[in-house]
A and B are shown apart, each in its own frame.
Chain A
Amino acid sequence: MNQVFWYATRSTGVVATVLAIGSLVLGLFFSARNTGAKRPAAWWLDLHNYLGGLALVFTGAHILASLLDPDSGIGIVQALVPGTAHAAAWAMTWAVLATYTFCIAVFTSWPKRRFSRRVWRWLHLTSVAGVAFGGIHAYQLGTDATATTFEIGLLVGAAFGIYAVALRTISAIARAAGR
């Protein structure tokens, strides 16, 4: 039975990583107004929101499966408090921080209008760091991190993410210069 939780931990972690990267890329493309005219902007925003929420759900499933796995050595404290893991403390710290940033990004999007635009944007942008933390966590701790397929996938995801961040940054600079 322990193996089931172990496999669940690994598979949900991989899927959560992919979903988080996908949501990040879509969000950055959207905010850079680079989604093209084929689909309405609301479509991209809707999908971005959904993928972000789904990434958080799968992250929760990933944490739950690792908590239920008696061999993982991870308890509630290790899952919630950075730096408390007995083994691979740094990798676990990245994971905890990534989870918190995902929570911030998702749960501040619902009461978005209650925040000022600037505050909300900075809160939301922490998810960029969160995705990076998640990728580092996957690379450092993931059982499949050294599998060639996973490495290629992580590399492609990182490339997409960096491209989207660069696109968004250039777009913001160009917009600021045009004012």
Chain B
Amino acid sequence: MIPLSHYLTVAFVLFAIGLIGIFTRKNAILVLLSIELLFNAVNLSFVVFSQAHGNLEGQIVTLFSMAIAAGEVAIGLAICILLFRTQKTIDVTDFTDLKQ
């Protein structure tokens, strides 16, 4: 039996990689991918806790979460396409309109 802490360590590492990706990646699609990593890290911990406590609620939440993640990806990709059409780039560092 693999102990709980191993699963959680994997989830933490996944979450950290996702965060770092969000902050450092310049390509909008890769930022989206990193967000997916966050989702997966959280989903993993849900499943693991569900197993550990012996009920199914965590797994049900995971199913919802995956559905939402699918929707989010669809919207995110649509945004990326629109950005590329209007700005001819999807490099997020080029968008500084929030300044001033």
A and B part of one assembly? no
Q: Identify the A interface with B (CB < 8 A).
A: none
On B, residues with C-beta under 8 Å from A are none
